Chains A and B, each alone.
Chain A
Amino acid sequence: MTEPELEVDVLTSQPRVERVPRSHLSLELGHLYMEDLLDGPQALRRHFAQISPWAGFVRARHPAPLRVSTCFLVDDYFSQVASPKKLVPELLEAAHDAGLGIDYLVRESACACAGDVSPAELVLGRIVSDPPRGSNGLRPPVHMTGWVSNSRDRLRPDGLDEALATRPWRPPEQNGARSHSICMEVQLWDEPDGRRRWSCALLSAVWQLLRLGLLRHQGKPVISPERWTGEYPDRWEDLPPLVQLADGAQPFAAFQTVSLLETRFADVEAAVRTILDQVSIDPAVTEQTAAQATAQKVDLSDDVVGRISHVFSDGL
C-alpha cells in the first residue's frame, strides 16, 4: 500500500502582519526642540535654509519614479511652548520659502504613546542586549536596568567609595572592538516624579522604527497617517500622532531613512544607533519587508542600522 500524500498544517494561526505601503526613502527635514521655537519664525527659516541644499542632493539621488516622503518631528513630549495653531503654519511657510514641502508631521509624544499602545514599550520589549565577552545568556534584562551599552560594565573608582578607590582602574572595553574602544552607555528612561520619562534617544529610536515601518502591535501598524485640513488646534494632544499635511504624499513608511540634522543632534543620533543595533525585529515583519523589497528591486540591508543615514550640518 502506498502512503497517501498528506500535508498537515500543525498550527492554524500563523502570525499575520499587516503590510504597510512604503516609499523608497523617508527624508526627515529636521527635528526641533520647543525651546528652539522661542526664537520665532526666523529660527525656522534659518534651519530650512541650512538643510535645503542637502535635501536637494538627496532628492536628486532619488529621482521619480522612486518615492520619497518628507517628515518633521515636533517635540511636544519634553515641553510644550508653542501651540500647533501658531507653530504649524509658521513651519510650513518657512519650509515652503526654502523650497521644501513637509508631507508628514509627527508629535514626539506619539513615540511614547499612540492611542492604547506605547511604541516605546514595544521597542523596549524587543531590545536584545549587546553581550560583552563572556556573556552566556544570563544578564539583567534591559527592562530592569533602563540602560543599553555597547561595552563591558566598568568599574569607576571615583574616590567616593573607598573599596572601589583601592582597586586598580580598569579601562572600559567595547564589545567586539577591533583595536580600540568607543564606549556608549545610553539611558532609556528616568523617573523624576515617579512617572517614567523616556529619553530623547529612545524616542528617536522609536521614531526611526516607525519611519521604517517595522513596528507592529498584534500584527497592526502602531501609527497611521491622518489627513488634516482644517485649522490647527490649540493643544498638541488634539492633533493626531501622525498628521499628513499634503495631498498625494508618498507613503510615510520607507525602506530607508535619511535625517538632515544640526550637528548638535549627533550625540543623540549616535545613541539612537546604539539602541537600534540592539533591537530585534519581529521575524514576520522582517520577512514581509524583505519580500516587499525584492518585489520592488530595492537593495535592503539585513540589519536595521544599515537602513538609516544621517547628514549633520550647521550650514556651509
Chain B
Amino acid sequence: MSSATASEGTLSIGEIRTGLLGHSSQLSMAETVRLLDLVPGEQVRHAAYPRAYAVSPQRLAGIDCFMPSRSGRHVRGVGTFATRATLTGGLIVQTCSHTTLVPSSRQYRREWSHYLATPGVVEYLGRLRLDDAAEGFAQAENGHLNIEMGRTAESTVFNLQRSRLLDGKQPLHAPLGRWRWALQPVRDNGDPGLYRFTVLPEGTRLIRLAVVWPDVSDLLDLVEDLALHDWLLDFVSRQIERARPGSGDLDRTLQHIGPVIDHLLHHWMPKARVQPGLYGLWDAFDRFQGLTRQWDLTINRIRDHVALNSLRLVLRTESEWSGLG
C-alpha cells in the first residue's frame, strides 16, 4: 500500500476506471489472485467478507514533468505514481493510478533511488499553488492534467481484460466509469471541508475534497467505493432504460434486466471497504448526489416490474387455459 501520508502542502490526485470483467461468471479467489499479479512475486491482498474483494500490489511509473494546473503554470515534479487494480465480487474491476504531490526539500532533481524510496509520491520543485493544481486536475473541464495517470489506469484495465484466465463472454457489456479526484488535507478547525463534484459532458466524474484525514490509502478506498457505486447505479439505470419497461416487449425486458438481477444487484454494498471514520464523507456525498435514493427507486422499479410481468404471465396462462376449456 501507499505509505504516503497527507499533510499540509500536499495534494493527492488520481484516476479510477471501473468496469465489468470480461468473463462469464464470477472469478474464484484463486483465479483473482493470479489475475491481479501486477508485480511478480508480490502478494495480492484479499478478503472474503463482507464480500469477495482483492487488491493487487502497486505498480509504479516514473515521471519528471509539469504538475497539473488550471492556469497553465509550469511547476516541475519528479517521482512516481502507483497503479493498483481491485476486483469486487469476482466481477467488478477497478484500476486506480494515484500519487501524492509533496514539496521537495531541494531545488534540483535528486538521484532516482531517492524517489523510489517513497513510492507513489511526486516531489515538486518550486511553488505549487495547490488550489490551482487541484482545480486543474479535478474540477476544471479543460485543466492541464500533465500526468498521464488516466491512460495508465485504462491500459491496466485493458491488459487485465486480455488475461488468459478470462473467457471474454461477459453477461453484460458495461462502459468504463471514469473518475478523476484530488484530495487536499486540511487542518482540523471545524470547517466542513471543500467538496466539488463535476460531471463532464462525456461522463467523466471529477471530485475535489478537502479533508482532515492523514492516511492516503484510506482515502483511496473511499473514493474507489464511491466510484464503484456511482458506476453501478449509472449502469443499472441505463439497462432499465434499454429494457423499456411497460413497452410490452417481455423478451427485451428480460434480456436487459435478467443479467442485472443475476450479476449486479447484490454488489450494492456502500461503505463495505471504507474506514468508519470516513462514513461521514460517504454519507455527505450520498446526500448531495442521492445515490442511495436513486438506487432504491431503481431497485423498486425493477422488482415492481418483475412482479407485474409475473402477474401478467399468470393471467395470460389462466386465460389460455380457460380458452381451452
Are A and B part of the same complex? yes
A137 in contact with B109 (CB, 8 Å): no
List, in ascending order, chain A residues with CB within 8 A of B273's CB: 10-11
Which residues of A are found within 8 Å of B119, using beta-carbon distances?
280, 283
B148 touches A138 (CB 8 A): yes
Given the complex, which residues of B lie within 8 Å of A304, measured CB to CB?
113, 116
Contact A11 B112 (CB under 8 A): no
Shortest C-beta distance, B283 to chain A (Å), equals 13
Judge whether A11 and B45 touch: CB under 8 Å: yes
**Main SS at interface, chain A:** loop
A13 lies within 8 A of B64 (CB):
no
- A12 interface residue (CB < 8 Å to B): yes
A130 with B146: CB separation less than 8 A: no
Given A10-B221, A10-B275: A134 and B112 interface contact (C-beta under 8 Å) = no
Contact B64 A131 (CB under 8 A): yes
Determine whether the beta carbon of B65 is less than 8 Å from that of A134.
yes
Q: Cβ of A237 < 8 Å from any Cβ of B?
A: no
Task: Specify which chain B residues have a CB less than 8 angstroms from the CB of A13 in the assembled complex.
Answer: 45-47
| Residues on A with beta carbons closer than 8 Å to the beta carbon of B151 | 137-138
Pairwise interchain contact B275-A8, C-beta atoms closer than 8 A: yes
Shortest CB-to-CB span from B180 to chain A, Å, is 14
What are the residues of chain B within 8 A of A11 when measuring CB–CB?
Answer: 45-47, 53, 55, 273
Indicate whether A216 sits within 8 Å of B41 (C-beta atoms), given known contacts A137-B152, A176-B109, A277-B111. Answer: yes
Given the interface pairs A10-B273, A12-B49, the reply to whether A218 lies near B41 with Cβ below 8 Å is: yes
A282 proximal to B (CB < 8 A): yes
B26 within 8 A of A: no
Residue-wise interface mask of A (32-43) relative to B, using a CB-CB cutoff of 8 A (1 in contact, 0 not)? 000000000000
Decide yes or no: A130 and B276 within 8 Å by CB, A16-B43, A121-B40, A218-B41 being known contacts: no
CA distance A282 to B3 in the complex (A): 12
> Does residue B48 face the partner (Cβ distance < 8 Å to A)?
yes
Q: How many residues in A have their beta carbons less than 8 Å from beta carbons of B?
A: 52
Q: A130 to B3, alpha carbons, bound, how many Å? A: 21
Q: Are B60 and A128 in contact (CB under 8 A)?
A: yes
- Asked whether A226 is an interface residue with its Cβ less than 8 Å from the other chain, the reply is no
The answer to whether A305 has its CB under 8 Å from any CB of chain B is yes
Contact A178 B65 (CB under 8 A): no
- When C-beta atoms are compared, the residue in chain B nearest to A217 turns out to be B41
With both beta carbons as reference points, the residue of chain A lying nearest to B50 in the complex is identified as A10
Hey, what's the 0/1 contact readout for B126-167 against A, CB within 8 Å counting as 1?
000000000000000000001111011000000000000000
CB distance from A178 to the nearest CB of B (A): 7
Find B114's partner among A217, A284, A303 (CB 8 Å cutoff). A303
B62, B97, B118, B275 — which one has the most chain A CB atoms within 10 A of its CB? B62
Contact A219 B55 (CB under 8 A): no
Interface residues of A in 100-133 (CB under 8 A from B): 117, 121-122, 125-126, 128-133
Contacts of A117 in B (CB 8 A): 41
Cβ-defined partner of B47 (8 Å) among A10, A132, A286, A303: A10
Chain B 81-115, CB within 8 Å of chain A: the 1/0 string?
10000000000000001000000000011111110
A136 close to chain B: CB less than 8 A: yes
Instruction: Tell me whether B61 is interfacial, beta carbon within 8 Å.
Output: yes
Select the residue from A121, A126, A128, A139 with max chain B CB neighbours within 10 A.
A128
A176 touches which of B3, B48, B78, B221 (Cβ 8 Å)? B78
Q: A128-B62, A130-B62 are in contact. Are A8 and B109 (CB under 8 A)?
A: no
Expressed in whole angstroms, the Cα–Cα distance for A139 and B40 within the complex equals: 20
Pick from A122, A129, A131: contact of B40, CB under 8 Å: A122
For A287, the closest partner residue in chain B by CB is B3
Nearest to A6 among chain B residues (CB) is B276
- Determine which of B97, B111, B116, B276 lies in contact with A8 in the assembled complex, contact meaning CB atoms within 8 Å: B276
Residues of A within 8 A of B324 (CB): none
Shortest Cβ distance from A253 into chain B, in angstroms? 17
Contact A128 to B80, CB < 8 A, known contacts A12-B48, A276-B113? yes
Chain B residues whose CB sits within 8 angstroms of the CB of A130 once the complex forms: 62, 112
- B39 and A135 contacting across the interface, CB-CB below 8 Å: no
Min CB distance A280 to B, Å, is: 5
B63 at the interface (CB under 8 A from A): yes
B1 within 8 A of A: yes
Give Cα A308–Cα B133 distance, bound, in whole angstroms. 38
State whether A137 and B81 are in contact (beta carbons under 8 Å apart), knowing that A128-B60, A131-B62, A278-B116 are contacts in the complex: yes
What are 12 A-B residue pairs whose CB atoms fall within 8 Å in the complex? A12-B46, A13-B46, A13-B47, A15-B43, A130-B112, A131-B64, A133-B76, A136-B148, A176-B111, A277-B116, A283-B58, A284-B43
List 4 other contacts, CB 8 Å, given A117-B41, A137-B152: A10-B274, A131-B64, A176-B110, A282-B57
Closest 8 CB pairs of A and B: A176-B109, A303-B113, A125-B40, A131-B62, A302-B117, A130-B112, A137-B148, A217-B41
